[in-house]
Chains A and B, each alone.
Chain A
Amino acid sequence: MLENPFQNIALIIPEIFLFGIFIGNVLVDLIFGKINKTIPLAFGIIGIITAIVLVINQYHLTLPLQPFFYKMLYINRSYIFIKIILGLVSLFTLVWINISKRSIKLAIPEVQGFIIASYLGACIMVEASHFMSLILGLEIVSISSYILAHFSFNKKGAESSLKYFLFGAFSTGLMIYGISFMYGFGGSFYFYETDFANKLAQAPAFFLVFSITLFLGGLFFKVALFPFHIWAPDVYEGAPTAIVAYFSVLPKIAGLAVLCNIYEVFVINPVLQSIMIFVLSAVAIASILVGNLSALWQNNFKRMMAYSSIAQAGFILAAILPHNSYSSTSFLFYLSIYFFMNFGAFFMGELLFGKQDEFHLKQLSGLGRRQPLLGIMLLIIMVSLVGLPPTSGFSAKFLLFTSLYEFSQNTNNHLILALFLVAVVNTVISLFFYLKPLYFLFLKPTENQTLVIFELKGKLFCIIIVLPLIIGFFSFDKFVHLIQQLNGF
C-alpha cells in the first residue's frame, strides 16, 4: 500500500529549503560572485536564518513523535528544539567567518555551502528512524566535515583532513557492519518499532553485544567519545578555528541526539536496557576521565579544548541515561549551554591569539591585563566549562548531577553512582587546565608586545555568546521552563 508522499512535504520543508539554498549558494556565486563578493555571503546567512524560522514554524504542525515518509523519519518537539540549536550553530559559524579578520579566507561560498549541507545532514540524522536515513544523514555531515577540515590550506590542514577522513570512513564501515547484524537479528531497518528491539534482544548474547558495540562505535566517532576520540586533537589542531568550533558542536549535538533516540528505543527491552546502560555509562566514565586527564598535559589551546570537549561529551552522554522527562530537560539544557561555552571558547581563542598560527598558551601572557573585557569573558567561559557558580555551566551540571543521583538511588545501580562520583570529582581535575589560559592571561607578565586590535563587532559577538552563560545561572529556572515548554515535557 503506497501513501502519497506529498502529504508529508510540510514536515520536511526546512530540509528541502536547506537543500535549495545549498544549490542556490553555488548558483548565486556563479552569477554574482564576480560582481560583488558580499552577495553570496549574504545569501547564505539569510538562507540559514530563513531555515531556522521554518524549523521554528514546525512547532505548529507537529504531534508527539509523528512518523513520515514511510516511517523513514520521525519528528517530535525535542527534535525541533535540537534542530533549532543546530541551526544556530551554523548561523553563528557563518557570522563568525564573516566578521573575524583571521578567518577571512574562510568567507567563501564553498565553506558556506558545506556548512549548509552539514546542517541538512544533521537534521536528517536527528530525525532518522530508519538505519538508511540515519546513514544518509551521518554521511552528509561527515563528508562535508572532511572537506571543511582542509580549508586552512596548509600541510597541517591536509593532514588533519586526511586523518579525519580515514578514521571516519573506517568507523562508518564498522557502523554499517554492526547494522547488518542488527538487521539480521531484528528483522527490520526501522529501529523505532517496538518489535525491532524485542526481536533483537533474542539474539545470542555475544552477537548482540558485538553488533550494538559496532553500531555505537560509529556514533561515538562522530561525537568523539572515548575509544573513538583519538582523531579529535589532531583534527582540531590542524583545521581553521571557526571550523573547529563548528566541529566541536554540530556533529556532537547531532550524534548525541541520535544516541538519545537509540537509547530511548532500546530501553523498552530489559536485556537491551542493561547492555545500553552498561556500555553508555562505561563510555561516559572513560570519556570524562580520558578527556580531562589528557587535557591536563596540553599546552596548545586547541588541543586542550579538543580534550575538554571529549570530556564534555561524556557529561552530556551521562545526561541521557536516567531516561525520564527531567533527565531529558537536563540533556537539552546541557546541550544548549555546551554550544555557547565551546563556541565562545574557540571564538575567544581566535581573537586572543590573533595572527599566530600556533595556539600555544604562552602567547596569552599578560593579555588579560591589556584587554580586561575579553579576559573577563574568557574567564566566564572557562568558569562555566568547569561548572562553578555563578555560571550556566553550574546550572547544567547541577541538573545533570541531581538526575543522575536520583537515578542511581532509584535503581540502586552502582555503576551509575560511580559515574555520578567520577563526574563530580572531575570538576576538580578540569579546573586545573581550564585555569591555564586564565593563568597566562592574568598572572603572567606580558611577553610579546604586539598589540592585538579587537574590532567592535568581535566584541559584540562575544557578548552575545557570553550573556546566556550568566543569565542561565541567575534565572535558570526560566531557562529550564522554556526548554520544558518548547519540548512539551
Chain B
Amino acid sequence: MDILSLLVFAPLLAIFFILILPHNQSNFYKNITLVSTSIQFLLSLIVINRFDFSYPKIQLVEKFDWITINMQSLGYLSIDYYLGVDGLNLALVVLSTFIFMIGVVASWNVKENAKAYFCLYLLLTASVIGCFLALDLFLFFLFFEFMLLPMYFLIGMWGGPRREYAAIKFFLYTLAGSIFILIAMIGLSISAIEPLETAEQMNLTGETSADLIANVQNQLQLQKIPKKALVHTLDILQLSDKSNYIKGTWLSWDNETVLWGLSARAIVFLLLLIGFLVKVPSFPVHTWLPDAHVEASTPISVILASLLLKTGSYGLLRVAYTILPDQAIEFGWLVATLGVISIIYAAYNALAMNDLKKMIAYSSISHMGFVVLGIAAATAESISGAVFQMVSHGIISAALFLLVGVVYDRTHNRNIDSYRGLASKMPIYTTLTVITFFASLGLPGFSGFIGEVLILLGAFAAHSHNGIISSWFAVGATFGILLSAAYYLWTLQRMFFGKFWVKNGSLWSKKLTDLTFQERIILFPLVFLMILFGLFPHLILNIVSPTCALLADFIINR
C-alpha cells in the first residue's frame, strides 16, 4: 500500500479502533479521530514533499486492476483502482486533510452518540479524499456517491430542528445529480477502450508501449478489432484521448447521431454538468445548500462548505472538461451564464438574509459561482484562478462557519438583528470576523482577492484568447464583488459596531464571552492561511498552474 492509498484508507483503521473501544471510554473517540486526521495531514505534507512541481501530469500513480468484467459479446470492461495527484487535486487534498483536522477540534463537544458521530466523520474523510484522488471514473463515482450517506446521517442526526428535512433534501438533490453522472458513466463505459489491455487481448506485441498504443488505436479507427477483444475502460485519462473511442458508438467524436436535437456527446456533457453543478452548487440547483447549512451543526457545515462543494467543481474540471473538451467549448456560454447568475443572484439573496448562517451559505454559492465562471472561461489563468479560489474559499468558508458557530454556541440564536456592537464585548472575535469578512469579499492582501482576480483576468482574456465566452460575463461577475462588499460590510456594521445591545439583554450579555482556547486554536491558523496565501499566492499557484495551463491547452487544441 503506497502513500496515496494510505491517505485514503487510514481512517478505516481508526474506525476499527473506535468500534472496538467500550462505551465507557467514549472520551477517546475524538482523540482517535484527531490522531487519524493529523496523520492524514502529515501524509498529505509528505505527498507535497514528493511531488515534482515542474511536471504537470499525474504523479505518484497507484494503479491496479480491480474489476474486470467479461461482457461476453461486447468485450471486457476493465475498472482500475487508480489514484494519482497533479496540480488539480494536490492542493485540494492538502486542504481537505487540514480542514478535517480543524473539524475534529470543532466537534470536540459532541457528546450524544459520539461513537456513531466519529465513525461517520471518518468515513466522510476517507470518501472525500478518495474522491479527490481517484482517476478512474468508476472509483471516482464510488467515492463521490458514498460521501452522501455519512453526510446524510451527520446532518440528520446531529443537526438543528428541521434537520430531517434538510438531510433528505440534501440527499435527494445530490443523488439526482449523481444519477446524471451515472448515466454519463454508463455511456462512456462502453464507448472507449484501453489500448494496452486491448493489445493484450489481441496478443499484439510492439517495440515500445507507445508503438503498441498507436497500432491499436489505428486498428480501432479502421474497425479491425473484433468486438470480443475490446477492453472498455473508465480511466479518465484514456477517456480524454479521442482516438480511444470506438467508431459507431454514440459517444465517438465523429458520431452524428442526434437524440432529441443534440449530439450524444453534448447530452453527456450536459448530464455531467448538471450532476456536478448540483454539488457546487450553482443556480438553479442550489436550493438544498442553505437548508443543509442552516440545519447542520457547525463542524459539519464547515466540511460541507469547504470540502464537499469542492468535489463538485473539481469533478467538473477532472471529469467533464477533461473527457469532453469539445463540448466544453460548445457550452462554455451556458456554464458561464450559470456561474454569473449564481454570483449575482446568490449575492442579492445574501443581502436579504437575516440569519447569519444563511447569509454565509448564500455567499458561499456566490463565491463558488466565480469558480464556475473560471472553469467556463477555460484559459490558463482562469482555471488556475478557479482552483486557487477553491482552496481559498475552502479556508475562508471554514472560518466563516466556525465564526457563526461561536455566537450560536453561546446564545443559540444566529439572527443578525439580535446583536449590535459585539466589538466592545468580544474584541478578538470581532477582529477575526472582520479579517475573514474582508478576505471573503476579496480585499487585496487576502487569498480571496487572488482567486477572484485571476478568474476575472482569465474571463476578460477568454474573448481574445480562445473565444469561449465574451468579456461581458466578467463584467457581470465584477458586479458580484461589489455586492459581496455590500452584504459583508452591512453585516459588520449591524452586528459588531455601534453601542452594545443584544436581544435578550442581561441573560445573553453574560453568555457572550470572547473566544475560548479551543476556538482560538482552530480560527487562528485559518486566518493566518488567508493572509499567507494572499501575500504569497505562488505557494499554491506553483502547484496548480502547470497542470491548469496544460488543461487549458488541451481544451483549445482538443
Contact = CB atoms under 8 A, between A and B. Distances in A.
B72 A425 contact: no
Contacts, number: 92
A390 B146 contact: yes
B5 interface: no
Interface string A379-406: 0000100001110000000110110011
B98 interface: no
Nearest to B78: A477
Interface in A309-328: 324-326
Given A372-B116, A443-B167, A428 B176 contact: yes
Contacts of B142: 389-390
Contact of A405 (B149, B163, B190): B190
Tell which of A417, A427, A435, A443 has the most Cβ of chain B within 10 Å: A443
Tell which of B72, B157, B167 has the most Cβ of chain A within 10 Å: B72
Interface in A32-71: none
B71 A402 contact: yes
A390 B156 CA distance: 21
Contacts of B496: none
Give the top 9 A-B pairs by smallest Cβ distance, nearest first.
A325-B72, A326-B72, A477-B67, A389-B142, A443-B156, A428-B176, A401-B186, A326-B71, A477-B69
A425 B176 CA distance: 8
B71 A443 contact: no
B179 interface: yes
Contacts of A439: 156, 164, 168
B504 interface: no
A409 B187 CA distance: 9
B156 A484 contact: no
10 contacts: A389-B141, A390-B142, A399-B69, A409-B249, A428-B176, A432-B172, A435-B168, A439-B168, A443-B156, A477-B69
Contacts of A372: 116
Contacts of A402: 71, 77, 186, 189-190
A322 B257 CA distance: 21
Given A405-B187, A427-B179, A431-B172, 17 more contacts: A369-B113, A389-B142, A390-B146, A401-B183, A412-B257, A417-B259, A424-B179, A424-B183, A427-B175, A428-B175, A439-B164, A442-B157, A443-B156, A475-B67, A480-B69, A481-B70, A484-B72
B382 to A, nearest CB: 33
A303 B142 CA distance: 31
B394 to A, nearest CB: 25
A421 interface: yes
Interface residues of B, number: 40
Nearest to B116: A372
Interface of B: 67-74, 77, 113, 116, 141-142, 145-146, 148-149, 152-153, 156-157, 163-164, 167-168, 171-172, 175-176, 179, 182-183, 186-187, 189-190, 249-250, 257, 259
Given A389-B145, A402-B186, A424-B182, A432 B73 contact: no
Contacts of B164: 439, 443-444
Contacts of B190: 402, 405-406, 409
B250 A409 contact: yes
Contacts of A421: 183
A476 B175 contact: no
Contacts of B182: 401, 424, 427
A329 interface: yes
A442 B70 CA distance: 40
Contact of B73 (A326, A398, A417, A475): A326
Contacts of A424: 179, 182-183, 186
Nearest to A406: B190
B121 to A, nearest CB: 15
A170 interface: no
Given A369-B113, A405-B186, A409-B250, A476 B67 contact: yes
A329 B72 contact: yes
A22 B224 CA distance: 58
B168 A324 contact: no
Nearest to A426: B179
A432 B186 contact: no
A383 B186 contact: no
Tell which of A406, A442, A444 has the most Cβ of chain B within 10 Å: A406
A153 interface: no
Contacts of B71: 326, 402
B171 A435 contact: yes
A489 interface: yes
A431 B73 contact: no
Q: How large is the interface on A (under 10, 10 to 19, 20 to 34, 35 or more residues)?
A: 35 or more
A389 B146 contact: yes
B179 A324 contact: no
A429 B431 CA distance: 47
Contacts of A325: 72-73
Contacts of A324: 72-74
A4 B65 CA distance: 53
A100 B71 CA distance: 41
A428 B278 CA distance: 14
Contacts of B67: 475-477
A390 B126 CA distance: 14
A432 B182 CA distance: 18
Contacts of A406: 74, 190
Interface in A430-489: 431-432, 435, 439, 442-444, 475-477, 480-481, 484, 489
Contact of A383 (B69, B77, B149): B149
A442 B157 CA distance: 7
A401 to B, nearest CB: 5
B153 A442 contact: yes
Nearest to B77: A402
Nearest to A425: B179
Tell which of B172, B179, B189 has the most Cβ of chain A within 10 Å: B179
Interface in A407-426: 409, 412, 417, 421, 424-425
Interface string A266-291: 00000000000000000000000000
A431 B175 contact: yes
Nearest to B163: A443
A21 B403 CA distance: 73
B70 A484 contact: yes
A480 B175 contact: no
Contacts of B183: 401, 421, 424
A326 B187 CA distance: 16
Interface in A352-369: 369
A389 B168 CA distance: 18
A388 B139 CA distance: 13
Contacts of B68: 477
Contacts of B179: 424-425, 427-428
A399 B72 CA distance: 12
B432 to A, nearest CB: 34
A335 B183 CA distance: 22
Contacts of B141: 389
Given A324-B73, A405-B187, A432 B145 contact: no
A430 to B, nearest CB: 10
A398 B186 contact: yes
A443 B72 CA distance: 45
Nearest to B71: A326
A444 B183 CA distance: 34
Nearest to B177: A428
Tell which of A329, A388, A489 has the most Cβ of chain B within 10 Å: A388
A442 B117 CA distance: 12
Contacts of A477: 67-70
A399 B190 CA distance: 11
Nearest to A375: B116
A481 B164 CA distance: 41
A235 B77 CA distance: 42
Contact of B172 (A398, A428, A476, A489): A428
A135 B492 CA distance: 79
B58 to A, nearest CB: 23
A432 B153 contact: no
A331 B257 CA distance: 29
A325 B73 CA distance: 7
